[in-house]
């Protein structure tokens, strides 16, 4: 991931109340779908397939983590969840896409309210 560093981002995210984590993850998910649209237009063949597989894996993790927060059920600890996202993104060549989505979601909302 790029700026902020994963450690800085983790510290910020872990400090959010659960209600804000849910909003944040929904915004991240939305940003990732925008990348998915670009994959459909700009990529082809195996490159496109791998990008969509990676995006699906990341969305899967976000969706179930979001559900865990909302339902107050067991879920990965936040630091583990963020590491899983980072590892999934890296394994599919989507680290920059994830970093942009995280950064965009972080800056699109006034988290102090």
Query: Average pLDDT, stretch 59-75?
Result: 96
- Residue 2's pLDDT band (boundaries 50, 70, 90)? very low
- pTM reported for the whole predicted model: 0.91
At 4 the pLDDT is 64
Summarize the chain as % helix, strand, coil (round to 5).
80, 0, 20
Domain boundaries, given as residue ranges, for the chain: 6-107
Rounded-to-integer distance, Cα 15 and Cα 61, Å:
20
Give 5: exposed, middle or buried? Use CB within 10 Å, 0-12, 13-18, 19+. exposed
Rounded-to-integer distance, Cα 40 and Cα 3, Å:
26
Query: Average pLDDT, stretch 82-106?
Result: 95
Sign of CA dihedral 27, 31, 37, 40: negative
- Residue 1's pLDDT band (boundaries 50, 70, 90)? very low
pLDDT at 109 over 90: no
Percentage of residues in the chain having pLDDT higher than 90: 86
Cβ within 8 Å of residue 112, ≥6 positions away: none
Rounded-to-integer distance, Cα 43 and Cα 51, Å:
8
3-class secondary structure, 2: coil
């Amino acid at each position: 991931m790029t700026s902020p560093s994963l450690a800085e981002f983790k510290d910020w995210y872990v400090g959010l109340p659960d209600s804000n984590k849910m909003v944040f993850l929904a915004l991240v998910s939305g940003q990732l779908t925008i990348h998915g649209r670009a994959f459909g237009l700009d990529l082809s063949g195996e490159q496109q397939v791998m990008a969509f597989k990676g995006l699906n894996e990341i969305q899967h993790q976000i969706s179930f983590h979001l559900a865990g927060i909302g339902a107050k059920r067991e879920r990965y600890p936040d630091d583990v969840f963020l590491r899983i996202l980072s590892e999934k993104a890296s394994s599919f060549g989507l680290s920059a896409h994830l970093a942009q989505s995280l950064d965009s979601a972080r800056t699109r909302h006034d988290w102090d309210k």
